[in-house]
């Protein structure tokens, strides 16, 4: 940053325009050079663009040949940060600066402290086309890019945020990024944050950022069936802590509490909550019907219960629970090598009536399964008996099937979900979740774009594929529900 301490250099406007025009001229020359080279084997390119960027940085740092001055002020300080700049360079990057500098060479800009602190970094981007940033700088830098309509920087910061959701930070950042995205209407960033929070909710529940979750975000999360967490009781405990800390009005608290899926909580735990939860005691009247229905669900057989209640609703649909009774982890070392198989058991269903019943599941993983369209085809011709097939044409396949069938399966279908863990910024998190259709034993797009042949693949952790397979029993009404 250069601070204004004296008069502007002589011939500033002439030299400022010359430097910027030279930058444009160089870009045009480089494009022309590529076109002129053609296929000539003796052709070569001389590239001094890094030197040019260095000189442009020096223009900003030293204020050489400046023809405009930016004075950045904040409400918290009487002192202004002063930048000697060059009108052409600012106008090329920002239509806002182009309008501001059209009839004046000195402008005063009013910024909040968080954006004023990054204004030097922002201006340097306008000169050099590059910027380094940290997690806590993303929002204010995005605000500057949006305010001054520097669209390339705006897109770049948004891409940075989407690719750094899993980065470690002391206070957390994804919740704050979600709220910011919702405020500015960035739907893509908003959805990326929401999906990350849903698939990694357990780590968020125990973090400092959980308390900063807004009512709107909390309700959005609670309505989702793809939340990844240990159990519904874990979710209730976190919601109870959120309510105790935020103390929202009763109508909000009751909406939140009614979004908990009480049938997914064991009766012994429900009794304990009724006896010990201060939040539940305060709002008991708002959820009494749900608790009573949950106890009925656990007391009767699912088939009998389904005769009188509509079980085809979210209240009776499990989320992606990581507890052992709902699935199993599977770490596949060297997954590109050959086929693998494993087996595990789950509880037949969430009802206590099914607590003692187990289902055994067989899982087959194949790293190079070939679709029918790519399988070898035999021909009568001797010269082309088999069509050549490359190993890399295959794609990973995962098949999950029950080992046996049972009359207990009546009225129950099983939805399978496979979570894929990846490591980013030194942290393991869920980045991919594949859900099977209830009538299928596999999903068509499982790791469709994964390159398991590369040890550096983002899908691998220490050359191993980390999966968590979840079985979600789904009850169906066999008899029309009585109204």
Residue labelled with tokens 């700049």? 85
pLDDT of residue 114: 95
Task: Give the span between the Cα atoms of 197 and 190, in whole angstroms.
Answer: 11
Question: How confident is the model over 361-381, as a mean pLDDT?
Answer: 68
**What topology is assigned to 174-315 in CATH?**
1.25.40
Mean pLDDT of the chain: 84
Neighbours of 262 (CB within 10 A): 22
In the predicted structure, residue 63 carries a pLDDT above the cut 70: no
In the predicted structure, residue 398 carries a pLDDT above the cut 70: yes
As a whole-number percent, the residues of the chain with pLDDT over 70 amount to 83
The predicted-structure confidence for 77-100, as pLDDT tens digits, reads as follows: 888 999 988 898 899 899 999 999
pLDDT of residue 11: 35
Question: How confident is the model over 233-239, as a mean pLDDT?
Answer: 97
pLDDT of residue 3: 40
The predicted-structure confidence for 124-171, as pLDDT tens digits, reads as follows: 999 888 899 999 999 999 999 999 999 999 999 999 999 999 888 777
DSSP state letters, 434-471: EE--TT-SS-TTTTTT--TTSTT-TT-BTTEEEEEEEE
DSSP 8-class letter at 98? H
Tell me if the domain spanning 12-28+48-131 has CATH number 3.30.710.10: yes
pLDDT of residue 482: 46
In the predicted structure, residue 2 carries a pLDDT above the cut 50: no
> Is there a shared CATH topology between the 174-315 domain and the 320-370+393-475 domain?
no
Q: What angle do CA 11, 15, 16 make, to 5 degrees?
A: 115
pLDDT of residue 44: 76
Q: Which two tokens stand for residue 120?
A: 């030097």
DSSP 8-class letter at 102? S
Taking the alpha carbons at both ends of the chain, their separation in whole angstroms is 72
Q: Which two tokens stand for residue 297?
A: 């669900």
Does 368 or 381 have the greater pLDDT score? 368
| Residues 6 or more apart whose Cβ sits within 8 Å of residue 15 | 9, 64, 65
Does 42 or 373 have the greater pLDDT score? 42
As a whole-number percent, the residues of the chain with pLDDT over 90 amount to 55
Task: Give the span between the Cα atoms of 244 and 201, in whole angstroms.
Answer: 19
The residue extents of the domains of the chain are: 12-28+48-131, 174-315, 320-370+393-475
DSSP 8-class letter at 172? -
**Which H/E stretch holds residue 12?**
helix 12-37
pLDDT of residue 389: 46
> Which among 72, 73, 69, 71 is positioned nearest to 60, based on CA atoms?
69
Categorise residue 298: left if φ over 0, alpha if ψ from -120 to 50, beta otherwise: alpha
In the predicted structure, residue 110 carries a pLDDT above the cut 50: yes
Tell me if the domain spanning 320-370+393-475 has CATH number 2.60.40: no
In the predicted structure, residue 335 carries a pLDDT above the cut 60: yes
């Amino acid at each position: 940053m250069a601070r204004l301490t004296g008069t502007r250099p002589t011939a500033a406007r002439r030299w400022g325009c010359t430097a910027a025009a030279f930058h444009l001229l160089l870009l045009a020359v480089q494009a022309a050079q590529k076109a002129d080279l053609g296929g000539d084997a003796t052709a070569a390119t001389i590239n001094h663009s890094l030197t040019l960027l260095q000189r442009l940085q020096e223009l900003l740092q030293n204020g050489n040949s400046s023809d405009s001055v930016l004075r950045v002020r904040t409400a918290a300080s009487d002192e202004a940060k002063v930048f000697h700049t060059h009108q052409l360079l600012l106008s090329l990057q920002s239509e806002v600066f182009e309008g501001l500098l059209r009839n004046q060479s000195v402008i005063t800009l009013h910024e909040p402290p968080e954006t004023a602190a990054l204004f030097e970094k922002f201006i340097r981007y306008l000169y050099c086309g590059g910027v380094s940033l940290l997690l806590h700088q993303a929002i204010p830098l995005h605000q500057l890019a949006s305010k001054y309509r520097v669209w390339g920087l705006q897109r770049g910061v948004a891409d940075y945020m989407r690719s750094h959701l899993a980065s470690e930070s002391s206070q957390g950042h994804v919740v704050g990024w979600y709220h910011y995205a919702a405020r500015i209407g960035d739907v893509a960033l908003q959805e990326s944050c929401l999906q990350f929070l849903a698939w990694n909710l357990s780590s968020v529940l125990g973090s400092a950022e959980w308390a900063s979750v807004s009512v709107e975000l909390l309700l959005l999360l609670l309505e989702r069936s793809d939340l990844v967490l240990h159990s519904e009781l874990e979710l209730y405990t976190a919601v109870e802590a959120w309510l105790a800390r935020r103390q929202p009005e009763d109508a909000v608290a009751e909406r939140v509490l009614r979004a908990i899926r009480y049938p997914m909580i064991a009766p012994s735990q429900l009794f304990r909550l009724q006896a010990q939860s201060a939040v539940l005691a305060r709002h008991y009247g708002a959820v009494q019907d749900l608790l009573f229905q949950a106890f009925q669900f656990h007391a009767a057989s699912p088939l009998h219960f389904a005769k009188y209640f509509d079980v085809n609703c979210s209240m009776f649909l499990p989320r992606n629970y990581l507890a052992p009774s709902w699935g199993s982890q599977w770490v596949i070392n060297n997954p590109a090598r050959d086929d693998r198989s494993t087996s595990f058991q789950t509880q037949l269903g969430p009802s206590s009536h099914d607590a003692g019943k187990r289902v055994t599941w067989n899982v087959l993983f194949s790293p190079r399964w070939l679709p029918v369209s790519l399988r070898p085809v035999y021909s009568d011709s001797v010269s082309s008996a088999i069509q050549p097939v490359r190993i890399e044409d295959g794609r990973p396949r995962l098949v999950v099937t029950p080992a046996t069938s049972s009359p207990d399966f009546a009225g129950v279908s099983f939805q399978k979900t496979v979570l894929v863990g990846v490591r980013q910024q030194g942290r393991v998190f869920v980045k991919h979740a594949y859900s099977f259709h209830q009538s299928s034993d596999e999903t068509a797009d499982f790791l469709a774009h994964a390159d398991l042949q590369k040890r550096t693949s983002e899908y691998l952790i220490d050359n191993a594929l980390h999966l968590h397979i979840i079985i979600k029993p789904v009850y169906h009404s066999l008899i029309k529900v009585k109204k």
